[in-house]
Chain A
Amino acid sequence: MDLYGHFELAILRPPHAVTSLLPSLCLGPTARTCSKPTMTEQDSTMDRASAAEMRWQSARAGATAVFGLAVGAFLFGILFGSAAVIQGLSPWQASLMSITIYAGTAQFSTLTLLDGGVGVPIPYVAIVLSAALVTMRLGMMTASLSPSLKRAGPVGRIIGTYLMNDASWAMSTTMRDGIDPTAFYFGSALSIFVCWQSGTFVGTRIPGLIDPVTATALAYAGTLFLLLLVCVVVRNSQASKLPLVISATIAVALDGRIDPGLAVVIAVGVAALAAIWIEYGRKPRSAKGH
């Protein structure tokens, strides 16, 4: 199967494991032949209303969970919009960049490389590869949340993929029982999206809105936000924290010695090996003591 076929299968069609479950769930095309007792129309209406209410409440919970981070996204959107206009982009070009790329790291990276320095043009390929490298973790996040995204249907999957961001992934680890994970994700992701785009718009219209001293302070605030996301994972995830510690340690050790993007790849690679060892490499307790 060619690359497009793989893409279409993965994104637009449920995997076989899901479709094979449909008869037992009495959903989809096989519902008519399902042997499950038929609900009365009233029961069906009440269940649909309850499900809709649950989804709405879950979406609200997602939006509430990322409120502080959404405010941060608005501020950083302003920073980006201002920086883009100051660098020479028109307001609509800056907004197009925010809408099309929708990844702060990649947007700032692209701005930097567009500038080139001393009038030296950077090859398009270099700019594109740089963007791919700095957004690699978004692919990991989509993989992690793929069960929730698959429940959103084909169009929902595409939109959910486009909206994937650090904050929404991290806050998904805080979900508790009774929450619809798909609705929670979309509530949080849409909040971040709206704030980021609004901030960019404001920043392009009022480039000097944030004074230089505050802008300098907010540059480190981005690091604070990411640090808090790590804290979210540490505080809420049930998984081992060892891969995270290993990744951070290696990245710090390699900082300044090799390309930052390569350092992240190495750090995450070693963390992945550690995670595999934790899950597969340790002997089961019944085997100990021989």
Chain B
Amino acid sequence: MDIVLVTLMVGATVFAVRASGFLVAARIEGERARRVLDSLPGAAIAAVVAPAVFRGNPAEIGVAGITATVYMVTGRMTLSIAIGVSLLIAAAHLGIV
């Protein structure tokens, strides 16, 4: 299989997917329609991440809960990431995950 050809094809496809947003937005008029449009990316991320969270083992799900709680309380992204990743790595090396 030609890796370069596949890479270029996938790259062009992904760019086209990104750019397709302009075609959709060009047909959106009004504040209410824009609010509907603005709610979709978050829903898409939630649809991807929710199953992934629950596919983890109990320790990983616990770390996810702690990380999300830290961010919702403090609003500090870097702190939340540092705590979450540190807990995951520590748990992995302790054999918990």
Residues of A within 8 A of B (CB): 6-7, 9-11, 15, 65-69, 71-72, 89, 93, 96-97, 100-103, 106, 110, 114, 116, 121-122, 124, 127-128, 131-132, 135-147, 149, 157, 161-162, 164, 166, 169-170, 213-214, 216-218, 220-221, 223-235, 237, 239-240, 243-252, 255, 260, 263-264, 267-268, 271-272, 275-276, 279-280
Q: Taking the nearest CB of chain B, how far is it from the CB of A120, in angstroms? A: 11
Q: Is the CB of B7 within 8 A of A93?
A: yes
Q: Is the CB of A143 within 8 A of B64?
A: no
Q: Which residues of A contact B11 (CB under 8 A)?
A: 97, 100-102
Q: Which single member of B16, B54, B89 contacts A214 (CB below 8 Å)?
A: B89
> For window 1-45 of chain B, which residues contact chain A by CB distance below 8 Å?
1, 3-11, 13-26, 28, 32-33, 35-45
Q: Is the CB of A264 within 8 A of B67?
A: no
Q: Beyond the given A138-B14, A264-B47, could you list 16 further A-B residue pairs with CB under 8 A, ordered by the A residue number?
A: A7-B19, A10-B19, A67-B78, A100-B8, A101-B11, A131-B14, A132-B17, A140-B41, A143-B22, A144-B41, A146-B26, A218-B85, A218-B88, A224-B63, A228-B84, A232-B77
Q: Does B75 contact A (CB under 8 A)?
A: yes
Q: Taking the nearest CB of chain A, how far is it from the CB of B36, in angstroms? A: 4
Cross-chain pairs A/B with CB under 8 angstroms, 5 sampled: A138-B17, A142-B21, A228-B68, A255-B55, A267-B43
Q: Which residues of B contact A15 (CB under 8 A)?
A: 26
Q: Is the CB of A144 within 8 A of B9?
A: no
Q: Is the CB of A97 within 8 A of B48?
A: no
Q: Taking the nearest CB of chain A, how far is it from the CB of B38, in angstroms? A: 5
**Given contacts A127-B6, A131-B10, A248-B47, is CB(A234)–CB(B72) below 8 Å?**
yes
Q: Is the CB of B44 within 8 A of A217?
A: no
Q: Which residues of B contact A71 (CB under 8 A)?
A: 78, 81
Q: Which residues of A contact B39 (CB under 8 A)?
A: 237, 239-240, 243-244, 271-272, 275
> For window 43-95 of chain B, which residues contact chain A by CB distance below 8 Å?
43-56, 60, 63-64, 67-68, 71-72, 75, 77-82, 84-85, 88-89, 91-93
Q: Is the CB of B45 within 8 A of A137?
A: yes
Q: Which residues of A contact B63 (CB under 8 A)?
A: 220, 224
